[in-house]
Amino acid sequence: MKTVSNPAVGTAHGKIILMGEHSVVYGEPAIAVPFPSVSVVATLTEKSGSITIESDYFTGELDQAPHSLDNLKAAVQVTCEALGQFASGFHMHIQSTIPPERGMGSSAAVAAAVIRSLYAHFHRDLDREQLLRLVNVSETIAHGNPSGLDAWMTSGEIPVYFQKEKPFEPLPLQMNAYLVVADTGQKGQTKDTVRDVSRLEQLYSEEARRIIRRLGALAEQAKVAIQEKNPVQLGECMKKAHSQLMTLTVSNAHLDRLVAAALYAGALGAKLTGGGRGGCMIALAADRMAAEKIAAALEHAGAEQTWIHSLGGD
Ligand code: PMV
């Protein structure tokens, strides 16, 4: 009798921070959404000998993989330990459409897909709690101290409202609108921008704190707009958040150009998303036609890639 699935497949998707980046570090609320337009598929097949992988970044023995794949190594290691299996005897094909280092959760999504493929291979049940625990352990080994948000968003289907040290609150988002996401083509600079906001906060604590509280209040208003299914109000919150983020120095000329292009093309709102000074920006569109016009304007203004994501009203 066969006791393993061969091949076995695991998947996960991207995430987007809708509101509250940076201010969330200081205890203010934030909202993130799953972003299934980009995803990872891990396909595991049995073979003899050491583990081999095939991906866009590296093909060969897992042991020889570069540091950029530390998350994958860590995910395999912690999962085999949890399953009580030797880390050998398979080939793993990783296919990802999530651009790395853009704040879309690429690393956590790779880990989640790999973990799911290993559990599927050994026919073992994997509940959400165990998946989140394993993704967070592998993210900690690979990168340090994850907030847990990327693990949650890349493996779940429902947006969340969250605050530091509080449990994630599901925030169902279903409105008649579209999110247009654009990649600047530049790596996000989360580490630098978080450090610079902290310096601003130390040097100009009153002013910086005011901006941070304002960003928190905008995330709160965005939550109400989502609950009331009001895209116009949500768009207003996004516009205002972008100008506060500019004041915090976490935007750059490219992001500002894309935000301006989206608004000029009719977006209800637009802002950077994630750490900033690169990475991605988002815009809100009233309908699909508007979303297509905005996406075209963003590409014309220099976006490397754009995606249109329905917020579920159609
Ligand atoms: O760039 P991302 O998606 O990893 O998001 C960073 C979000 C920040 O609020 C800037 C930092 C943080 O740890 O919350």
pLDDT in tens, 92-127: 999 999 999 999 999 999 999 999 999 999 999 999
Q: How far does the centroid of ligand 1 lie from the alpha carbon of residue 22, in Å?
A: 6
User: Could you tell me the CA-to-CA distances from 271 to 23, 161, 195, 251, 252 in Å, in that order?
Assistant: 14, 18, 20, 9, 12
Choosing from 38, 190, 271 the residue with most ligand 1 atoms within 8 A of its CB, the one to mutate for a pocket test is: 190
Instruction: Report whether pLDDT(1) > 60.
Output: no
| Ligand 1 atom nearest residue 250's Cα | 10
Helix, strand, coil % in the chain, rounded to nearest 5: 45, 25, 30
Taking a C-beta distance cutoff of 8 angstroms, is the pair 124, 134 a contact?
no
Instruction: Report whether pLDDT(314) > 60.
Output: no
| Ligand 1 atom nearest residue 15's Cα | 3
Ordered strands of the 305-310 beta sheet = 269-273, 280-285, 178-183, 305-310
pLDDT band at residue 313 using 50, 70 and 90 as cut-offs: low
pLDDT digits (tens, 9 = 90+) for 32-84: 999 999 999 999 999 999 999 999 889 999 999 998 888 899 999 999 999 99
Q: At what angle do helices 128-143 and 70-83 cross, to 10 degrees?
A: 140
Q: How far does the centroid of ligand 1 lie from the alpha carbon of residue 33, in Å?
A: 13
pLDDT of residue 142: 81
* Look-up of token digits 């976490």: 250
pTM of the complete model:
0.94
Q: How far does the centroid of ligand 1 lie from the alpha carbon of residue 50, in Å?
A: 36
**Nearest CA among 9, 80, 82 for reference residue 40:** 9
pLDDT digits (tens, 9 = 90+) for 226-236: 999 999 999 99
Say how many residues make up the chain: 314
Instruction: Report whether pLDDT(2) > 60.
Output: no
- Around 18, how many Cα atoms within 13 Å sit in the side-chain half-sphere? 34
Q: Which amino acid is at 165?
A: E
| Ligand 1 atom nearest residue 104's Cα | 3
Extents of the domains making up the chain: 8-169, 173-310
Q: How far does the centroid of ligand 1 lie from the alpha carbon of residue 55, in Å?
A: 26
d(CA 244, CA 12) in angstroms, rounded, equals: 32
Fold match, 8-169 / 173-310:
no
Helix (H, G, I), strand (E, B) or coil at 231: helix
Choosing from 194, 249, 277 the residue with most ligand 1 atoms within 8 A of its CB, the one to mutate for a pocket test is: 194
Q: Which amino acid is at 289?
A: M
Answer CATH for 173-310 from 3.40.50.970, 3.30.300.30, 3.40.50.10800, 3.30.70.890: 3.30.70.890
User: Could you tell me the CA-to-CA distances from 43 to 1, 11, 36, 107, 136 in Å, in that order?
Assistant: 22, 9, 18, 17, 21
Helix (H, G, I), strand (E, B) or coil at 126: coil
Query: Is position 256 annotated as part of the catalytic site?
Result: no
Which CATH architecture best describes the domain 8-169? 2-Layer Sandwich (3.30)
